Chains A and B, each alone.
Chain A
Amino acid sequence: MESLINLFNFEFFRNAFLAAFMASITCGIIGTYIVARRIVFISGGITHASFGGIGMGYYFGFNPITGAIIFGILSALGIELFTKRADLREDSAIAMLWSLGMALGVIFIFLTPGYAPNLMSYLFGNILTVSKEDLLFLLFLSVFVIGFFLIFYRMIIFVSFDEEFALTNNAPVRLFNSLLISLVALTIVLNIRVVGIILVMSLLTIPQAIANLFTKRFDVMMGYSIVFAFLGSVTGLAFSYIYDIPSGASIIFTLVVLYGIIKTLFLIFGKANMSAVKIREESLKS
């Protein structure tokens, strides 16, 4: 235990801890929106499309995350725009974008001379190598997401719950859909450094699944999701240190185990409650 606390003497670990904290805030809030609106698949598409931007960053020599931001937001708005024009099947379009992004990324990285350093950290994430710059980006995003959801909470719920009803009330549905899907893209891309492209979707859905066991209210669900995301990432981080395994995978694995444990507890206690009710009913009968 002491050795774990001593870890805070290392700058890389303090950074990792801060990254986990801010990843939990952004993923907790945005993930709740994703789950509530059932746009998990769309978010998966955005995640993988942004790999194209990372490849471009390598090839043209700029920060891969900048490329990922551009690709992520453009594909998010593209999906938002095209799926509203009824002609295209939404899921097929997303799948196309999904693989196009990955293909572009692979091509660009292949064309880049020499070895691509850190490529694995983009695919699987490495919370221990997040830079000051990454943290600053995450901080800005956290503040923005919190502010946006605090100020516009009612409008977000209004537009997301029943889009048609919101439209009949002249609500700015398209504006909010576009803003929110852009925030989804930003959250995904900035958290790629923490858990990686392949794993980031789970940070946006597993804490929410756990939170959903406790509550069915949007605002409460955001809070619980942040708590469980943080719990999962810090515990995962500790496991990754103790057993010397990759941090991203360790975090996700911890979260799934956490879900399993809590779900099981719910099943047992749920059943216990049920049988208690049954016994009471039977005693009433007799």
Chain B
Amino acid sequence: MDTLVEIRNLSAGYGQNIVLRDVSLSIQQFDFIGVIGPNGGGKTTLLKALLGLIPPLAGEIVFEESMIGGNAHRIGYLPQINNIDRKFPVTVYDVVRSGLMSRKRLVGRYSSEENERAITLMDEMGIAAIRNKAIGELSGGQIQRALLCRALVNNPKLLILDEPNTYVDNRFERELYEKLKLLNEKLAILLVSHDLGTISTYVKSYACVNSSLHYHSGNEVTDELLKSYECPIQIISHGDIPHTVLHKHLS
């Protein structure tokens, strides 16, 4: 299997505030990694470093050649939906096609082949019919779908999703995860989530980020395991009697 991204001894943060210390992780082709961990533990910082939004303070992130070669940027990114200005006057179609901008020079137009690809994707996500609507007229789930199309339209090798299950109804959440499962046959996925219970049936491995990073292959996560990783996160098990176990932060 090909290694797409290799994170080696990465430290990252903002100014004097180091959030991630000495983190290593390698992302292989067809991986489906669930990134979990407490708020403020550095999940978002890890994403930002991966996406090149903040420079590493120490260590390095090495991409496979085909990931960064030429203008084709091969990471698809789905931001948290509350990072989006929903009143911005822009159509679904334009949002989706903007995922192709990295291959454009400053002025290029979209080719008919690119337009077709965008429409096919929107069709698969069930938003082709509303493509000329402004995003302000859409529901949370529909915006999420549009943003997912934007992330996928450039045929990425790695898809990064930041808390895709917030502000989305349950039905769409299920659809989304099923969709990701299908996509995973073609690309690697890094999914940040606070909802361990739901994602556990879909992910292949876990990365628990809490200043440090612990990698766990396999999708079965037990209380004991998390405890040994010092990963204070809530586990919701979907048994006959739903119950929630909360752990205190250890340090």
**Per DSSP, are chain A's interface residues mostly helix, strand or loop, or mixed?**
helix
B45-62 residues at the A interface, CB under 8 angstroms: 51-53
Q: Decide if B53 touches A215 in the complex (CB within 8 Å).
A: no
Size bracket, chain A contacts: 20 to 34
**Are A165 and B77 also in contact (CB < 8 A) when A217-B89, A217-B91 are?**
yes
A151 contact from B104, B107, B134, Cβ within 8 A: B107
Q: Would you give the 0/1 interface string for B75-113, flagging 1 where the beta carbon is closer than 8 Å to chain A?
A: 101010001110011110011001101101011011000
Q: In the complex, A151 Cα to B91 Cα: how many Å? A: 19
Shortest Cβ distance from residue B243 to the other chain A in the assembled complex, whole angstroms: 37
A3 interface residue, CB < 8 Å from B? no
B178 interface residue, CB < 8 Å from A? no
Which residue of A has the minimal Cβ distance to B103? Answer: A169
Q: A157: which B residues are within 8 A, CB to CB?
A: 90, 94, 98
B106 contact from A155, A161, A168, Cβ within 8 A: A155
B73 interface residue, CB < 8 Å from A? yes
**Are A158 and B53 also in contact (CB < 8 A) when A164-B79, A170-B73, A216-B134 are?**
no
**Are A170 and B102 also in contact (CB < 8 A) when A161-B85, A162-B84, A165-B79 are?**
yes
Q: B109: which A residues are within 8 A, CB to CB?
A: 154
B129-171 residues at the A interface, CB under 8 angstroms: 134, 136-137, 150
Shortest Cβ distance from residue A236 to the other chain B in the assembled complex, whole angstroms: 26
Q: A161: which B residues are within 8 A, CB to CB?
A: 84-85, 88, 90, 95, 98
Q: In the complex, A215 Cα to B88 Cα: how many Å? A: 11
A108 interface residue, CB < 8 Å from B? no
Shortest Cβ distance from residue B153 to the other chain A in the assembled complex, whole angstroms: 11
Q: A160: which B residues are within 8 A, CB to CB?
A: 88
Q: Would you give the 0/1 interface string for A31-58, flagging 1 where the beta carbon is closer than 8 Å to chain B?
A: 0100010100000000000000000000
Q: B77: which A residues are within 8 A, CB to CB?
A: 165, 168
Q: A151: which B residues are within 8 A, CB to CB?
A: 107
Which residue of A has the minimal Cβ distance to B91? Answer: A217
Q: Decide if A216 touches B53 in the complex (CB within 8 Å).
A: no
Shortest Cβ distance from residue B141 to the other chain A in the assembled complex, whole angstroms: 18
Q: B150: which A residues are within 8 A, CB to CB?
A: 165
Q: B14: which A residues are within 8 A, CB to CB?
A: 86
Which 7 A-B pairs rank lowest in CB-CB distance, beginning with the nearest? A216-B134, A169-B102, A168-B51, A218-B89, A158-B98, A158-B101, A216-B89
Residues of A within 8 A of B (CB): 32, 36, 38, 86, 151-152, 154-155, 157-158, 160-162, 164-172, 212, 215-218, 221
The 7 sampled A-B contact pairs (Cβ below 8 Å) are A38-B85, A152-B106, A154-B104, A161-B84, A161-B98, A170-B73, A218-B88
Residues of B within 8 A of A (CB): 14, 51-53, 73, 75, 77, 79, 83-85, 88-91, 94-95, 98-99, 101-102, 104, 106-107, 109-110, 134, 136-137, 150
